[in-house]
Structure formats: C-alpha cells, structure tokens
Structure 1
Amino acid sequence: MPNSSPSTPDRASNDKGLRALGDPVVLILSVGFIVAFVLLSFYDLDMVANGVSTGFAWTAHTLGSYFQFLLLATFFIAIGLAVTPAAKAKIGNLNEPEMSTFKWLSIILCTLLAGGGVFFAAGEPVYHFVVTPPAFDTEPGTPQAVSGALAQAFTHWGFLAWAVLGTLASIVLAHSHYVKGQPLQPRTLLYPVLGKRLLSGPLGGVIDALCVISMVAGTVGPIGFLSTQVSFGLHELFGAPNSYVTQVAVLIALGSIYVISAMTGIHRGIQILSRFNVFLALAIGAVIILFGPTLYFINTYLSGVGAYATNFFAMATTTADTAPDWWMQWWTVFFFAWFIGYAPLMAIFVARISRGRSIREMIIAVAVIAPIATTVWFTLLGGSGIYYQLEGVIDLTEALNNFQFDVATLTVAQALPGGTWMALAILVLTTIFVATTGDSMSYSIAVVGAGHDEPSPKVRAFWGIAMALMAGILLEMGAGQVGALQQFIVLAAVPVSVILLPTLWNGPKAAYAMAREQGIID
C-alpha cells in the first residue's frame, strides 16, 4: 500500500489574491453571507429574526421527517458496513495510524461533542424531566419521568447524531481524495452523481459554499453563547460585570486559543487542547461520581439506557403530527438539522485524522464509542440536575421554560460537590470544548478552500477570526441575533442534506472499492 497522499500543499503557496484564501467562489459566497447577515441585522433586526424564524418553522414542519430518515439510514447502513469484511480497509493510504488511539479518540470526542454537548448536558435532561417529551406519558417532575428525560436527551446527542457526522461521508471523501486524488471538498460527495465538471466548475464552488455557510451558522452560535455563558458565570461566581465588554473579553480569549490551535495544526494545538479537555472532563466526572449520589447515577443511567433502547424508534421518528410543532422545532428537528449542517466539514475532519485507521475502527469510534461516552456525560451532569431538582436543592423549571440554559448549567454546577470550584471547572471545560470546535472547523474550512489536507496556517487564522468577529458583532445587537443565526442552520441543512444523501449508497461502494484495492476482498 502506498504511504503517500495525492495532496499538494505547496501549490497553495503560489496562489495570488483571492486564490490565496482558497476557491474564489467559496470565499465570495461564504464571506458574502457573513457580511449580508450582519448588514441586514444592522438595517432591521426584526426583519432578519422574523424571516429566519418563519423559514425555520416551515422547514422543521415540512422536512423534519426527511431529516430523521437521513440520520436513521446513515446510522444503520454504517453499522451494517462495519461488520462486513470491507470494513478492514485502511483509510488514507497509510498502514499505521498517524496518532495513538487515545489522542485520536480525544480529538473526535472534543470536536464533535463540542460546547453544545456541555452547554445542553446539564439543562436538557432536566427540561425533559419538567416537560414530558411527546414519546412518553409520565407525570412531569416525578421519579417516573427520570428515565424518559434522559432517554430523550440520549436520542438528540446519541448514535444517530454522531453517525451522520463522520461515517459514510468520511469514507467517500477518504477514498476519493487519498486514492483517486480528488479534492477534499464537499463537492466530491456529489462527484458520482454529477461527474467531472463538478470538481472544477462554479457549481462545485456553490456546493462547498453552502456547506461552509451551514457550518459557520452552527459554529458562530456556540461561540457567541459561550461568551454570554462565561460572562454570566463570572458575574455569579466572582461579581464581574455581566456586560458586553466582558463578553468581548471572553470572545477575544476564546478566539486567540482556537486560532493559535488551528494554525499549529492537528498534531499540535488541536491535539493538545483535546487531550487537556478529556483529562479535565474525566476529573470532573470522577468528582461527581465519588462525592455525589453514586448509586443514583448508576440506577438512573441503566434505566435511561433501557428507556432509550425501548423507545428508540418512537423518539427518533416523532413527527409534527404526533407532537406539538414548537417541540419538534426546538428539539428533535433542530438538533438533527444542526448535525446535518455540520456533517460535510466534520466528515472531512474525521477522514483527515483517521488516516491509517480501518473503516471499522472509524465507524465504531464515531457511531458507537463516542455516543456511549456522551450518554455517560449527560447522566452525570443532567442526572445531577434532576437529582437536585427532586431533592428541592434547586428549581430550574422557570429558567428552562424560558430556555435559559446558561442559568441551568451554572445552577447545576454550583450544586455539585465543590460548588464554586466545580462551576469554574465546568466553565473552563465548556470554553475549551468550544475552542476545539473553532480550531477544527477553521482548519476544515481552509481545507475546503484549498482542496487538500495541508491548508495555509494564515487561511486557518482568517476563518477563525472571521467567525469570532461575526459573533462579537451579533452579540452587540443582542443574544437574540446569535440565536437567529443558529436557527438559520436548519434552513441551511436542506441543501446540505441533499449533498449527503448519495453517501447512503456511495459510502458502502467506496468501502468495498478500498477493500478490493487493498486486496482484502476479491
């Protein structure tokens, strides 16, 4: 097996003008979207927010079932593929992995779970505890409602969500790029359908730009919300002013971390941040287990997993006809669309860091190990919130009915063993989680522009700074405008889902092609 890649990183050094930042079509459309969204928000905040909200509601109601089908099909096809002989094929023309298993899994967990997982881990299970999900009929706020609450959170952040982020699409991209020499770009996912003209024509640039815009919308939201969350946390814990100035200071610190990390690359900054965060998460988890209600966590986790398995299809296929429109919009469809919007660039990143791994290893890591780790994390934080809610130590009903998840996270954190110190540790953890998303996505956007896996560090920095600036400008208008941008990812998920759809059959085809090329099967 050859031990090289068709990548040609030195070609980027000779580009001039717009080409230095990547494909001009991708650059113009992506930056144009950022500028247009900001300028329109300055012109008429309500017009933009209402327009996005209307499109968000229509998309969730009309296409929610299609999004659910795409995630279900991706997961089951990927798992089926993982048990075939073809899954022994190695990714990226390498016989041995580029990094150790721990480093590799750390990057996967931190990048794909990201700040959203920490941001929602404390509050979402408690929300489903005080507002019974449509798939269950238990009395809210009672011990009987606990397992269903955790199961619903597991559905949103479990096997289906993870599978779409880095299984079938990653296999297609890895084969196309490292074997066929095609660009490491979302357009390559449609090459089997639309042919060669897609790779160098403007249509390919439009496809890439749609994926970049979707990812920007999904990343700027967590960056902005993290600034508000940390500002609020510093105010509650240490009396610091909860103001725009504090939010900008947090944003500058966060941006500096992930821009430097992105510039130093996968084997340095991105890997170091991910390992640090895994160790910090393990330390926090150990404290919660050892000094919290240990037996309650064990029993709650087992009952939650049981409810997840028993009601898996009922929760994954809940539609607007069987649940209130508002519930579908803000929960299942919102999260599923969010993961679809992220998927092409995440798939690029997963394919890049998985060189030397087998297809089976990659699928199991992304679609099995990572979701299980996520369910444990949600049980520790969310289960703690439910426990303290039941015991009357805290009351998050009003905050969560108003979707104040920053309040929920800090309130649960302060109730945990260690109090203020635990709350501070969780704020740091959340910050680094968001940074690992910022650095990996800055890297991935630069890869999309360059078409190969060694983009210029300056281009990585450009995209990281652009996202931080957008978050800062929108925060000045109010957190609601950051929320409007995050809602936009549901609209952006529509074209992105079409780009992902062919991977349902091209993923297995690419896997079998790799297995034949490597002499694993005839």
Structure 2
Amino acid sequence: MSSQPDPAATRPSATRSLGDPVVLGLSGGFIVLFVLLSLYDTEGVANAIGAGFAWTAAVLGSYFQLLLLLTFFIAMGLAVSPAASAKVGGLDTPELSTFKWLSIIMCTLLAGGGVFFAAGEPVYHFVVTPPAFDTEAGTAEAVAAALAQSFMHWGFLAWAVLGSLTAVVLAYWHYDKGLPLQPRTLLYPILGERLMRGWVGGVVDACCVIAVVAGTVGPIGFLATQVSFGLHELFGMSEGYTTQLTILVVLGALYVTSAATGIHRGIQLLSRFNVFLALAIAAVVFLFGPTLFLTNAYLQGFGEYISSFLTMATMTSETAPGWWMQWWTVFFFAWFIGYGPLMAIFVARISRGRTIRQMILAVAVMAPIATTVWFTLLGGSGIHYQLSGVIDLGEALNNFQFDVATLTVAQALPGGTVMALAILLLTTIFVATTGDSMSYAIAVVCTGHDQPHTAVRVFWGVTMSLMAAILLYMGAGQIGVLQQFIVITAIPVSLVLLPSLWLGPQAAYAMAREQGLTSRRRVNVNDES
C-alpha cells in the first residue's frame, strides 16, 4: 500500500486541460439524452422518473435522513475539538475577507431555492399541519410548528451536508497532498490511486456533476416562470415563452459573466450586492411590517425547532403520510445530498486561511441561523397576513404554486409593488449566484484544478441555461421532472459523501498534527483498501 498519493499520477494531463473526457462524456451525454427523450416522449420520461423518485423516497428516505444527522453531529464534535484550530490551505491569513467569504457562502448555498420557498413553505405548513405536530391548521397555535418545520428543511442538517466534513477532507487532500478538487478525492483514502487515474473516478465525478446540473437547472427554469408571472401580475406583460426566454438570456449572461471573471471578481461582487439587497429588504420588512408578530414568531418557531428537532428529523413514512415525506423532507434532504460534493469543493476553495472551526461553524451554524431569520421575515409575514385575512394562499399552496405565494406575500409587504420588484430582483441574483458558483465548481471537477479554463466555466453556464430553455419550451412541468431526478442521483452521491463521516475527523487531525497543533496518536488516513 502506498502511504502518499503521487500528484503527477492524479492530476489531469495537459491534453485534458478542457476537461476529463469521461466526466464530459457522461454528464454531457446525460443532458443530451434527457432532452432528446423528453422531446420524444415527455409523458414517458416523467412517469419513469416519477416512479424512481417515489421508490427512492420510500426505500432510502431514512438512510438520507440518518446521513444528514450523523454529518451534523460529527461536524459539531469536530468543531469543538483541538484539531479544529488547523488552518485550511497552508495560508496564515484568509484569502478572502470575512464579509466576502460569508457573503459567498450565504448566496451560493441558500440560493434561489431558499428564496423561492422562503415565502411559501412556512405558509403551507401553517395551512396544512406537518405530521410531527397536532396543532389546528390556520390558527395562532400553528405558527410555531409551521416555522419549525421550515427551519428543519433549510436549517442545520441541510447546511452541514453541503460543506462541513466533506470540505475538510477535500481541503486536506487537495492543499496538503496535491490531489485535485474533485469528488473522487473524497474516496481516495479508501480506493487509492487507481480511482484517481481510472474511468471509475470519472464515473464518480460525473454522477456528482449530473446531480448538480439537475438541481441547478430547476431553479434557473423556475425563476424564469416566477419572474414572468410577477411581471405579468405587476405590469400586465405577457408571461409566455418569449418572456421566459428573455429572462433566461439575461440571467444566463449575468451568471456566465460572473463565473468567467472568477471568485475574486464576479462571484464575490455579485454575492456582496445580493447580501446588501437582502439586508435592505429584511430591514424594511422587520421595521415596517408586523414587527412584534415576527419577533414572537421567530422565538417560538426556533424554540419549537430545537425542542422538536429529533422528532422532525427522524419522521418516516411509517409515522407520516408517504406523499408528505416524499415531497417535503426526503425531497429536500436528497436535493442537498446531490449538491454536497460540489458545494464542498466550492467551500474548500474559498476557505483558504480559515480554521476548520471557522469553516464548519460558518456553514453548519451561522448560515442556518441566518436562513431561519430570512424564512421568518418572508414566511412569517405571509403567515401573519394569512392569519389576519389579508391574503388567502390555501388553494395556491395546496397546488404547490409557490411562485404565486412569493408574489402575493411580497405585494402584501410594506412598499407593495416596489417590494415585489425588489424580491424578484433578489431571487434572480440568488439564482445567478448559484449558477456562477456551480458553473465554476463543475469546471473545477472537469479540469481537476481550482483555476479552470474560462471556456469550461462559460460552457457549463451556457449549457444549463440552454437546457432550462429547452425544457421550458416543453412546459414547466418538465423542469419539475428534472428536479425530481436529483432525488435519484442522491443514491450514488450519498455513497461518495458517506466515508467523510470518519475521514473528516481523520483529515482534520492530520492537518492539525502537520501544523504542530496536536500530538494526538497518528491516525493513518493514507491506508488504501
């Protein structure tokens, strides 16, 4: 067994500077195949993926839940350990300022999904009581449970799997040992150099790329329908395909330009602007909206979230309606698992000079708490207006029309039309920050190094926009079908994440030992199976 990887053997050759042909072939082939099959038999594709989605949720839902739970609790234990003082990437000072760093994390990981669901999901759980609770729907007693359930889906567990233990493993093997920033590196300590050099490694990377493409094209496509719907309701503009296509072109140009200019320019500038806009909207909502109601709702909701944490996190189809678990908890958890490896790559890339403790706490604690505040401001306001009779979203949300919910709540907020436009702009930029970061991360995976060729970043950004445009042409339903597919892709991706449960702490102690921070007995992270 080799105790050290051979960097020369594991880095891509010069002939592969634009991408690993296995990764490009499989991921690009998936995109082409999905689009062609959808054009040939839209209903058949939808039915096949729907059946796979239902089976995965029913059979593997508990496994996904357990993976998230273990990731969070092990990450918290690592964060308070002596090894957490080790610094990432061999830098004494951080590569990015704290504000820039946190802005990129928030905008990349919360992204359009969080903003898209922030207004509607709490109201949905208010009008349809979640199975973990027995409060009467639509009453004042149902407020805390509605917020708590939303916090469960977008809180500590979701964020931890996106960039805590996996980011530690990637940071150690990339910066300290010279391996590429690719998902296959997460399996190197187990499978060795054969994985890094062979086609199996390409398959591992391709599965992770496909999951992210499926998860990112969804928000891109849904944003086009949401903004076109908003412009129609506010200004009477057509919400047809031409308008949606125009929105996609503008959005694509925005995030492709951002990805092309890199982390230190476009990506961080877009993220900073979005954070300032989000803070401005939050301040207006809190100061001029139902301030007392929001304050009380947050305290009660967060308290319920903590006290009912394990009850909600371990709810299964045996104790809850199967459809509810399939479309809520399992769907979201699988979505986050699908994003896990590439998000971890991005977190490791932007966290050079930070301690392991800072990286874990920022991703798995600070960001989730900020998310709960955001969900309370938008969703809590929606609950307040629903409770007081100002709006009625019961029918729309029962039909899962979250674009209607977002716009309706936005118009009821202080400022009316202006606030609605601001939230549409915020949602657009949030999706753009996901698009640019994932275009960058996919390019990193394809090329095997953290300064991927600009052409590769542009290619993936344009590809995702083009895919969204084609699927929207067939109807927004096909976008939803693709998003269901991420639950299926979570199966192989979860196997890539699983070893990080023990490799994360091992890598952290190895980093700390090499930096002279701990004299703990050597943990052999270099063994190969």
**TM class, shorter-chain normalised?**
over 0.9
1:282 equivalent in structure 2: 279
2:117 equivalent in structure 1: 120
2:108 equivalent in structure 1: 111
- Cα distance in 1 between the residues matched to 2:96 and 2:175: 18
1:430 equivalent in structure 2: 427
Question: Structure 2 matches for 1:503-518, cutoff 5 A?
Answer: 503-518=500-515
**Aligned-pair CA distance for 1:21:** 2.6
Question: Structure 2 matches for 1:409-424, cutoff 5 A?
Answer: 409-424=406-421
Q: Which residue of 330, 338, 341 corresponds with 2:338? A: 341
Q: Does 1:389 align with 2:391?
A: no
Instruction: Render the CA deviation track for 1:289-321: whole Å, top value 9, x for unaligned.
Output: 111111111100000011101100000011010
Question: Structure 2 matches for 1:444-463, cutoff 5 A?
Answer: 444-463=441-460
**Aligned-pair CA distance for 1:323:** 0.6
- Cα distance in 1 between the residues matched to 2:305 and 2:17: 48
Q: CA RMSD in A?
A: 1.2
Question: Structure 2 matches for 1:356-505, cutoff 5 A?
Answer: 356-505=353-502
**Aligned-pair CA distance for 1:271:** 0.2
Q: Does 1:219 align with 2:216?
A: yes
Q: Does 1:164 align with 2:161?
A: yes
- Cα distance in 1 between the residues matched to 2:236 and 2:273: 28
- Cα distance in 1 between the residues matched to 2:460 and 2:240: 26
- Cα distance in 2 between the residues matched to 1:507 and 1:354: 16
Deviates more, 1:404-413 or 1:290-299: 290-299
- Cα distance in 2 between the residues matched to 1:105 and 1:336: 23
Q: Does 1:254 align with 2:242?
A: no
Contact 1:82–1:360, Cα closer than 8 Å, also in 2: yes
**Aligned-pair CA distance for 1:7:** 9.7
Consecutive unaligned residues of structure 1, counting only runs of 5 or more, are 1-5
Q: Report the residue type matching 1:426 in the other structure.
A: I
- Cα distance in 2 between the residues matched to 1:267 and 1:165: 22
Q: Does 1:263 align with 2:260?
A: yes
Q: Report the residue type matching 1:290 in the other structure.
A: L
- Cα distance in 2 between the residues matched to 1:21 and 1:43: 31
Question: Which segments of structure 1 move beyond 3 Å, counting only runs of 4 or more?
Answer: none
- Cα distance in 1 between the residues matched to 2:300 and 2:435: 35
Contact 2:87–2:356, Cα closer than 8 Å, also in 1: yes
**Aligned-pair CA distance for 1:144:** 0.4
- Cα distance in 2 between the residues matched to 1:127 and 1:21: 45
Contact 2:155–2:372, Cα closer than 8 Å, also in 1: yes
Contact 2:7–2:179, Cα closer than 8 Å, also in 1: no
Question: Structure 2 matches for 1:287-298, cutoff 5 A?
Answer: 287-298=284-295
1:80 equivalent in structure 2: 77
- Cα distance in 1 between the residues matched to 2:21 and 2:291: 55
Specify the SS of the correspondent of 1:21.
coil
**Aligned-pair CA distance for 1:183:** 1.2
2:144 equivalent in structure 1: 147
Q: Which residue of 226, 236, 240 corresponds with 2:237? A: 240
Q: Report the residue type matching 1:189 in the other structure.
A: L
Q: Which residue of 19, 22, 46 corresponds with 1:22? A: 19
**Aligned-pair CA distance for 1:239:** 1.0
2:53 equivalent in structure 1: 56
- Cα distance in 1 between the residues matched to 2:383 and 2:127: 9
What is the total number of aligned residue pairs between the two structures? 512
- Cα distance in 2 between the residues matched to 1:449 and 1:288: 42
**Aligned-pair CA distance for 1:279:** 0.3
Q: Does 1:39 align with 2:20?
A: no
- Cα distance in 2 between the residues matched to 1:272 and 1:266: 9
**Aligned-pair CA distance for 1:80:** 0.4
1:330 equivalent in structure 2: 327
**Aligned-pair CA distance for 1:452:** 1.1
- Cα distance in 1 between the residues matched to 2:14 and 2:480: 37
Q: Report the residue type matching 1:398 in the other structure.
A: E
Contact 2:7–2:177, Cα closer than 8 Å, also in 1: no
1:3 equivalent in structure 2: none
- Cα distance in 2 between the residues matched to 1:370 and 1:308: 16
- Cα distance in 2 between the residues matched to 1:293 and 1:186: 45
**Aligned-pair CA distance for 1:20:** 4.2
Q: Report the residue type matching 1:157 in the other structure.
A: W
- Cα distance in 2 between the residues matched to 1:291 and 1:182: 52
Consecutive unaligned residues of structure 2, counting only runs of 5 or more, are 1-5, 520-529
Contact 2:252–2:461, Cα closer than 8 Å, also in 1: yes
Instruction: Render the CA deviation track for 1:261-306: whole Å, top value 9, x for unaligned.
Output: 0000000000000000000000000000111111111100000011
- Cα distance in 2 between the residues matched to 1:200 and 1:469: 32
Q: Does 1:97 align with 2:88?
A: no
Instruction: Render the CA deviation track for 1:215-244: whole Å, top value 9, x for unaligned.
Output: 000000000000000000011111110100
- Cα distance in 2 between the residues matched to 1:504 and 1:423: 42
Contact 1:7–1:452, Cα closer than 8 Å, also in 2: no
- Cα distance in 1 between the residues matched to 2:462 and 2:250: 12
Contact 1:7–1:453, Cα closer than 8 Å, also in 2: no
Instruction: Render the CA deviation track for 1:192-235: whole Å, top value 9, x for unaligned.
Output: 11111000100000000000000000000000000000000011
- Cα distance in 1 between the residues matched to 2:17 and 2:89: 26
- Cα distance in 2 between the residues matched to 1:78 and 1:368: 10
Specify the SS of the correspondent of 2:90.
coil
**Aligned-pair CA distance for 1:86:** 0.3
Q: Percent identity?
A: 75
